[in-house]
């Protein structure tokens, strides 16, 4: 199947000291032939973002390490960072993004002062926290390695078949 491969340069954009957005800038476009989606997913160039558009699907391959990547190239309108956190309320500081770039992801350093950020995009707002980036699982205590005793299945007593009692005299005579 025919596909269009679009190459983008990655442009880092510092918003605040703890947050860096990664924008993309169009570089070039080429037509190729791919046999499957898996083949399209293997097309990567280090330091670049590759978008492979097929007939009814697309694949984004990111050649840059980042903490959080978006599912597609989006326009970010602004980022809100918590300034003051009390028990019941959070006061946010909003930083508008004036760059005319599409963004593909971000790097963030979480601190006790900045436990999360809110990103406002054309599609709506999204809260990104530590649990969004890292899959935090509770620790399960390990059981000791002592083997368990096997339980025996007890044989059940067989039930005797009940004979049907026939009350006619003909069956008793024979």
How far apart are alpha carbons 49 and 130 in whole angstroms? 25
Largest CA distance in the chain: 110
Please tell me the predicted confidence (pLDDT) of residue 91.
87
Residues in the chain: 174
Please tell me the predicted confidence (pLDDT) of residue 93.
86
- Model pTM? 0.66
How far apart are alpha carbons 101 and 173 in whole angstroms? 106
pLDDT in tens, the chain (174 residues): 788 888 888 888 888 878 888 888 888 888 888 887 788 777 878 888 888 888 888 888 888 888 888 888 888 888 888 888 887 888 888 888 887 788 888 888 888 878 888 889 888 888 888 877 775 555 555 655 666 667 777 766 666 666 666 666 665 555
**Phi, psi (deg, nearest 5) at residue 136:** -85, 120
Q: What is the DSSP letter of 87?
A: S
Per residue in 122-144, pLDDT (tens digit) is: 888 888 888 777 755 555 556 55
How far apart are alpha carbons 26 and 69 in whole angstroms? 18
Please tell me the predicted confidence (pLDDT) of residue 122.
86
Beta-sheet pairing, 48-53 with 2-16: antiparallel
Residue ranges covered by each domain of the chain: 2-133
Please tell me the predicted confidence (pLDDT) of residue 56.
80
How far apart are alpha carbons 171 and 139 in whole angstroms? 75
């Amino acid at each position: 199947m025919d596909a269009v491969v679009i190459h983008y340069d990655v442009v880092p954009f510092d918003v605040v000291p703890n947050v860096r957005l990664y924008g993309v800038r169009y570089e070039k476009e080429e037509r190729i032939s791919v046999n499957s989606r898996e083949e399209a997913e293997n097309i990567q160039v280090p330091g670049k973002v590759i978008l492979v558009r097929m007939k009814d699907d697309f694949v984004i391959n990111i050649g840059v390490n980042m903490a959080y990547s978006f599912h597609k190239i989006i326009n970010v309108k602004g980022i809100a960072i918590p300034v003051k956190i009390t028990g019941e309320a959070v006061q946010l500081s909003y930083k508008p993004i004036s760059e005319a770039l599409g963004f593909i992801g971000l790097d963030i350093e979480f601190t006790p002062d900045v436990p999360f950020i809110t990103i406002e995009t054309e599609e709506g707002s999204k809260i990104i926290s530590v649990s969004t980036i890292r899959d935090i699982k509770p620790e399960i205590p390990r059981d000791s390695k002592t083997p368990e005793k096997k339980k025996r299945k007890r044989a059940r007593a067989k039930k005797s078949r009940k004979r049907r009692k026939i009350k006619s005299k003909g069956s008793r005579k024979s």
